[in-house]
Structure 1
Amino acid sequence: MKLRRYHHFGSILLLFFSIICNSYQVLGQTISADNLSQVRVDDLSDEQILAYLRQAESMGLSEEEMTQAALQRGMPASEIEKLRTRIATLKASSNTRPQIVSPVQNRPERQMIDTVVAKPTPPDTTVKDTLPVFGASLFQGAPALFEPNLRLATPQDYVLGPGDQILIDIYGKSEENHSLNITPEGMINIPYVGIVQVAGMTIEQATARIRSEMATIYSAIRTGGTKVTVALGNIRSIKVILTGEIVKPGTYTLPSVATVFNALYYSGGPSKNGSFRNVRLIRGGKEIARLDIYDFLISGNFKENVRLEDQDVLMVPPYESKVEVRGEVKRPAIFELKEGETFEDLLAYAGGFTENAYRARIKITKRTATEQRIEDLLSSQYAHYRPQAGDIYMVDRILTRFENRVRIAGAVFRPGDYELSPGLTVSMLIKKAEGLKEDAFLNRGNILRLKDDSQHEQLSFDVAGIVAGTEPDIELKREDVVTISSIFDLREAYTIDIDGEVRSPGRFPYAEGITLQDLIIQAGGFRESASGSRIEISRRVTNADILSQSAHIAEVFQVNADKGLSKEDQDFVLMPFDRVVVRTSTGYETQKTVRIVGEVLYPGLYTINRKDERISDLINR
């Protein structure tokens, strides 16, 4: 146990001193774990000391043992004292914090986080037996931080204000360029021209004013010899307040070209209780616009997406009415409805029915003051039925049954499902299936019919007679299954077996007229040891006398075959289920060897050349 303790002790020291050395390598210094004379405890973080102190305590090692080892490796006594002080301070402060779970207990949840560039944790988008809120996905993935200096295209009606940057480019007979910021008073100071008021003007208006003022200094502007262009550089920032049912409410700094939609996107959009249909923009204490996000989601309409100004308030109130649409619609989700909207409007928000939807009737689960109840909504009511808050609409699938299907299977060229046309009979269905195959069993066919009470009944017919027209035809009904068997389906598969001295013994399919030599060729031919004489062929007996004790139960033939498998020789014709055995040639022997090792002059393998050879004979050899 003592040896094991010191093994753990060495492991902890190695980890502790490795983190010390790694810390110094990050700082551009190289320190060996065996020489800690240059270590400075002040350079170690609290997290590094605490992490490895916990590991040491979990191994049963004391603080004194760790400091003694550091002293042996050359760590200055002053630094060791600092280390003791740091450990004592960290232990004291940890008593006032929530208890830290042991790393051994907490190992499955341990994570390593980059504290320099921490990526935001993605939201949990898993849906557990609930539908998504329609439109919520539009605001997922918003950046964690705002960037006030966004490079956005400047609208033509953009109104200049303090903080905007004006870029003036003069070219032609005179060439100059100026980058000027609009002062808090709304003016710019153009060199050689003077003060020009531009705040409150659009880009077009400001361009005309600047050209007019500069023409008094640059006379060639009037004649066209000098040109002046005015553009907008960096735009100013504004502060906007987002309040109400928003994922991240607060005051945000936005670029001055930002719209209501930009602000909603960066704030994460409406929360689960927020309205997507009634987003209010308040400016100077008055409501100036209302944004319905569904207008954009359904038709791409941005008409109420007005540009924000400094100190605007964006208010998202709670929703008034939400309903669920489940089942066979293209967008199953939770939808928010305005007063006066009908189920037809709701169906449009859900993208309409899928191809498998049952459209004649929809089930509604409604909530009363005390319980739930079920209602049916008919297709004739879609246009004027008004949903109520909390309704759940279930659109079922159409039935998987067929109203006019018949099926044919078996020995026809095109088996499968066919339309049950009026007056369709068995012979007509066979013609639709491109006729009977050559192996069709003509004596009998079957019809599996579904009765009115959903039970099945079996009908039989003469296939040859119906096809020839000598037997009365049978009119088919819905879901009839016509089966015409193959002759191969009604008998045991014909095979023949071969065993013994052939290269590939086994079972082979029988073909009419196959001979013994044909079978030997299929089995890969004779082995070298095979004998062409006395090949035994056994055949099944079908008429044995079951009462006779000496009755033959198999017919056996002894046949000779040319090992060259010549076609000129008379060949034996095989029958189904014959078994062929090819025997080994008389006197055929393979070499047999023994190995001699030890104190002999020539150890190794020796071949036995006589049946009566002895060990002494082999030793003498």
Structure 2
Amino acid sequence: MNKKFLVTIYFVFISAIVFTQGLGDIKNLDISSLSDEQIATYWGRIQKEGYSMSQLETLAKAQGVSASKVAEFKRRVYGLNTVDKQAKNLTDSTPITSDVSEAYGVQADKVIGKKKNTNAPFGYDFFNNSKISFTPSVNIAVPDNYQIGPGDELMIDLWGASEITYTARVDRRGNIKINGVGFIYVNGFSLEAARKKISTKLKKKHAGIGAPKDSYSHISTNITVSKIRTVQVNIIGEVKAPGTYALNSLSTVLNALYVAGGPNKMGTFREVKLVRKNETIATLDIYDYLLDGTQKGNFKLQDQDVLLVGPYQNLVTVEGAVKRTGIYELKEGQTLSDLIAYFGGFTSKAYTDLLILERLDGTQKVVKEVKLSEASQFEIKAGDKILVQEVLDRYKNKVTVLGEVYRPGNYELLPNMTLRGLLLKADGITPEAFLTRGIITRNYDNTYQENIPFSVAAILAEKTDIDLQNNDVVQIFNKDNLREPRTILVQGAVNKPDTLAFVSKMQIEDVIALSGGLKEGADPNNITISRRLKDGSFKTLSKLFTLSSETNLALNNGTPFYIEPFDQINVRSLKGYAAQQYVKVTGQVNYSGAYVLENKNERISDLVKRAGGLTEFAYLKGATLFRKIEDNPIKKLIYNVESEDVGVDKLKEFSKSNVTSIGIDLEKIMQNPGADSDLILLEGDELVIPEIKETVQVSGEVLVPSLVKYRKEYRLKDYVNSSGGFTDAAKKSKIFVRYSNGQIKTVSRFLFFTFYPKLAPGADVFIPTKVAKEKMSTQEVLGITSSIATLALIIRSLTQ
């Protein structure tokens, strides 16, 4: 029997150790910061261990977890929607006992930064805000009217002829005990009255207390409350967390309500009753505190007080142009004026002449119209809904002028105001205004509009005028916006060819000056102007003029020639004028560098001679001519190869520029200068003559890309084999060779024969990569086969 008892104690002890490890989480964590899912997970873990909420409280107390933290955890569990009451081991009648000296308020639902609960009565979110603390301060001096009771601790300081400090705790009978004095009954006394009684009792032991203040034997006293007691308060009714709470004795009705989370959505905010000794001694109206800051009925609590929160009285909904929309609770007999005070009045856009009210009338709803002047006599009933509309978004005395006036915008419509008067108010029209036509857009009750055209010039000249009406909109157009933008085009031998805005009375010298002046080599006597025709002829496209201009842009003393809109001016260059043109030769010549072309027929052989001829190391078969062109043909060659090809990086990089290589036979050119193979040089050409190379580069899909020594007897495959041979991914049919002079040759086929390019020193061999082809899986093959078989059976059945 003893062994079984010891084993049982052992398992209980082990279980307690394991469980209390979990309790440490409550002690160390801020429960208010945990989510509902975390609280539910933790509570589920406790239940799996086989513990109830009461056992949790007992073990938590043994581990030093504060009662307030346990109470907060219980409130969080109690507020979970996903956990039923049986699983929580709680019922609606389960009291929650809390010592709130450390934490105040239901913190499960923090509303800071969250959207306001629009379906709850006014004041509901106030008690959900964990950032507001209603904890009564215990560090301030206790007021003289504080009522002393069991549990309070008094501190009695004596100084002067005698210095001593007594601390005495009020026992359950209401007495304090002082050594040498005895018991003193102070229960129910105010602190001020208790001071007098205690001082009187102390005179028996310390006679100097009664001595005159100027006497050397005088003893001064100071009696304060060093520790205040806790009181048990029952909070019942329509609150979020009803129960019994341990509060400090400085707590008030509002403090207790905040601890219990405040009234729930069914609770009243207008009549919270404080019941003491079976009698209602005070009633707190929370609206008075929230709206006016008054605390009538917010009494300090005593032990065994009861707070009773009943159901709400009359709920009224307010919507529209008010300062605080929402649901408000009104008492019986309160009027619309009271409600207006609750929602803070109307916004600046509110239409207050007539308020719309929806009311429940037995089996259906009715609509009533209430004038604001009747608000103090109009009684509000339960279920009423007030809708405050906004003023109309329209004006009753506005006219608008837009466009080319100096001060466009809205203006007040004065009696007998005319269009001319409005234009004068807007400081007149701008020089860009279109004078022939303006438009008035007139609105008729926002349902019909009418355009009224007028002549701006006639209005300003007082030849006619138009009376304006409310909401008229006057539009004055910009003359440039009503026609094609007028420009002139300047091109040719000017420093800044451009399209210029047309300006009246512009001459050719003005155009040249705006275009940066003439270039060096421009011919001022050969300036062509092309002008649009308006003669109705379909044969002639434009009219041409040829003019001369002063090179120093001096004023023309003769008959001026004015430019017209859309003219195109072309300044020609002098006949035969050309700037220096350069070509370049690099590599194996005696004097490499840039050379100026002497004439348009200069050829490659001429450039080599001017460069001092070839050196003994020149590799003529590898010579290449590079030329700048608009369209690089190497790009087409490179991009015709599959994008997966490898080994063409060098060509792709080269093809990005507008320079292409031209394969030449320099050996033949030097033997026969001036022949067709001896190309005429163009500006920007570069002749590159390399030195003799003895290698061939092999890259791409070979096992070891490398440089291989050139051998005359070697074929292409020999060079590939010298680089380890082809890889499995090599695409042999697309091999191409780039020679030193820029020429490119690819593999060719004829019938069943394959011809590979011959190699030369300095050549590059590129082996591209095969394009990967997806293979069908076994399931896909079976699916296609079965589909074909089914199709064959269908055809057979149809043909029989």
Q: 308, 312, 319: which is aligned to 2:301?
A: 308
Q: Deviations over 1:386-416 (max 9, x none)?
A: 2332222211111112122222223332222
Report whether the alignment pairs 1:474 with 2:463: no
Match of 1:401 in 2: 394
Whether contact under 8 Å (1:449, 1:457) holds in the other structure is yes
Whether contact under 8 Å (1:499, 1:581) holds in the other structure is yes
Shift in CA distance, 232/470, structure 1 to aligned 2, threshold 3 Å: same
C-alpha deviation, 1:307, in angstroms? 0.7
Q: Within 5 Å, give how 1:463-612 maps onto structure 2.
A: 463-471=456-464, 473-526=465-518, 532=524, 534-542=526-534, 544-546=535-537, 549=539, 551=540, 553-562=542-551, 565=553, 573-583=562-572, 586-589=576-579, 591-594=581-584, 596=586, 600=588, 606-607=594-595, 609-610=597-598, 611-612=600-601
Q: Report the AA paired with residue 588 of structure 1.
A: A
Q: Deviations over 1:568-588 (max 9, x none)?
A: 998864333222234456442
Whole-angstrom distance in 1 between the partners of 2:473 and 2:134: 68
Whole-angstrom distance in 1 between the partners of 2:590 and 2:144: 108
Whole-angstrom distance in 2 between the partners of 1:174 and 1:517: 115
C-alpha deviation, 1:519, in angstroms? 3.5
SS of 2:235's equivalent in the other structure is strand
Whole-angstrom distance in 1 between the partners of 2:224 and 2:593: 101
| TM-score scaled by length of structure 2 | 0.56
Match of 2:740 in 1: none
Whole-angstrom distance in 1 between the partners of 2:591 and 2:125: 85
**Larger relative contact order (Cα-Cα within 8 Å, sequence gap ≥ 6):** 1
Contiguous gaps of at least 5 residues in structure 2: 1-17, 23-44, 50-102, 612-800
Q: Deviations over 1:432-455 (max 9, x none)?
A: 223333444444443222347942
Q: Deviations over 1:313-361 (max 9, x none)?
A: 1111111221110011111000111111112211221111211111222
Question: Percent of aligned pairs with the same residue?
Answer: 35
Q: 305, 312, 321: which is aligned to 2:314?
A: 321
Q: Please, which moves more after superposition, 461-470 or 301-310?
A: 461-470
SS of 2:311's equivalent in the other structure is coil
| TM-score scaled by length of structure 1 | 0.71
Larger CA Rg, structure 1 vs 2: 2
Whole-angstrom distance in 1 between the partners of 2:592 and 2:366: 96
Q: Report the AA paired with residue 564 of structure 2.
A: M
Q: 226, 230, 237: which is aligned to 1:237?
A: 230
Q: Deviations over 1:102-124 (max 9, x none)?
A: xxxxxxxxxxxxxxx9x956359
C-alpha deviation, 1:256, in angstroms? 0.6
Q: Deviations over 1:89-140 (max 9, x none)?
A: x9xx99xxxxxxxxxxxxxxxxxxxxxx9x9563598669945521122212
C-alpha deviation, 1:186, in angstroms? 2.6
Q: Report the AA paired with residue 261 of structure 2.
A: G
Q: Report the AA paired with residue 157 of structure 1.
A: N
Report whether the alignment pairs 1:376 with 2:364: no
Q: Report the AA paired with residue 129 of structure 2.
A: G
Match of 1:389 in 2: 382
Whole-angstrom distance in 2 between the partners of 1:192 and 1:522: 115
Q: Deviations over 1:244-292 (max 9, x none)?
A: 1111222222111000001111222111111111211112222221111
Q: 179, 184, 194: which is aligned to 1:206?
A: 194
Match of 1:298 in 2: 291
C-alpha deviation, 1:461, in angstroms? 3.6
Whole-angstrom distance in 1 between the partners of 2:171 and 2:523: 116
Q: Please, which moves more after superposition, 456-465 or 328-337?
A: 456-465
Shift in CA distance, 573/467, structure 1 to aligned 2, threshold 3 Å: closer
Shift in CA distance, 123/556, structure 1 to aligned 2, threshold 3 Å: same
Whole-angstrom distance in 1 between the partners of 2:238 and 2:389: 34
Report whether the alignment pairs 1:256 with 2:249: yes
Q: Report the AA paired with residue 367 of structure 2.
A: I
SS of 1:357's equivalent in the other structure is coil
Report whether the alignment pairs 1:154 with 2:154: no
Shift in CA distance, 601/183, structure 1 to aligned 2, threshold 3 Å: farther
Whole-angstrom distance in 2 between the partners of 1:360 and 1:374: 16
Whether contact under 8 Å (2:199, 2:209) holds in the other structure is no
Q: Report the AA paired with residue 122 of structure 2.
A: F
C-alpha deviation, 1:531, in angstroms? 5.4
C-alpha deviation, 1:481, in angstroms? 2.1
Match of 1:100 in 2: none
Whole-angstrom distance in 2 between the partners of 1:309 and 1:461: 87
Shift in CA distance, 445/149, structure 1 to aligned 2, threshold 3 Å: closer
Whole-angstrom distance in 1 between the partners of 2:455 and 2:389: 44
Whether contact under 8 Å (2:524, 2:549) holds in the other structure is yes
Whole-angstrom distance in 2 between the partners of 1:555 and 1:500: 16
Q: 121, 126, 130: which is aligned to 1:138?
A: 126
Whether contact under 8 Å (2:507, 2:562) holds in the other structure is yes
Q: Report the AA paired with residue 563 of structure 2.
A: L
Whole-angstrom distance in 2 between the partners of 1:382 and 1:602: 111
Whole-angstrom distance in 2 between the partners of 1:618 and 1:181: 119
Q: Report the AA paired with residue 176 of structure 2.
A: I
Q: Deviations over 1:454-482 (max 9, x none)?
A: 422233344444444443x3322222223
Q: Within 5 Å, give how 1:338-349 maps onto structure 2.
A: 338-349=331-342
Shift in CA distance, 535/468, structure 1 to aligned 2, threshold 3 Å: closer
SS of 1:557's equivalent in the other structure is strand
Shift in CA distance, 139/130, structure 1 to aligned 2, threshold 3 Å: closer
C-alpha deviation, 1:144, in angstroms? 12
SS of 2:269's equivalent in the other structure is coil
Whole-angstrom distance in 2 between the partners of 1:129 and 1:569: 86
Q: Deviations over 1:480-525 (max 9, x none)?
A: 2233334444444332222344454332222334444444444445
Alpha-carbon RMSD across the aligned residues, in angstroms, is 3.7
Q: Within 5 Å, give how 1:70-109 maps onto structure 2.
A: none
Whether contact under 8 Å (1:364, 1:394) holds in the other structure is yes
Whether contact under 8 Å (2:580, 2:596) holds in the other structure is no
C-alpha deviation, 1:148, in angstroms? 8.8
Count of aligned positions? 503
Shift in CA distance, 462/558, structure 1 to aligned 2, threshold 3 Å: closer
Whole-angstrom distance in 1 between the partners of 2:493 and 2:231: 98
Whole-angstrom distance in 2 between the partners of 1:350 and 1:144: 22
Report whether the alignment pairs 1:355 with 2:355: no
SS of 1:334's equivalent in the other structure is strand
Q: Report the AA paired with residue 314 of structure 2.
A: S
C-alpha deviation, 1:615, in angstroms? 4.2
Whole-angstrom distance in 2 between the partners of 1:272 and 1:494: 73
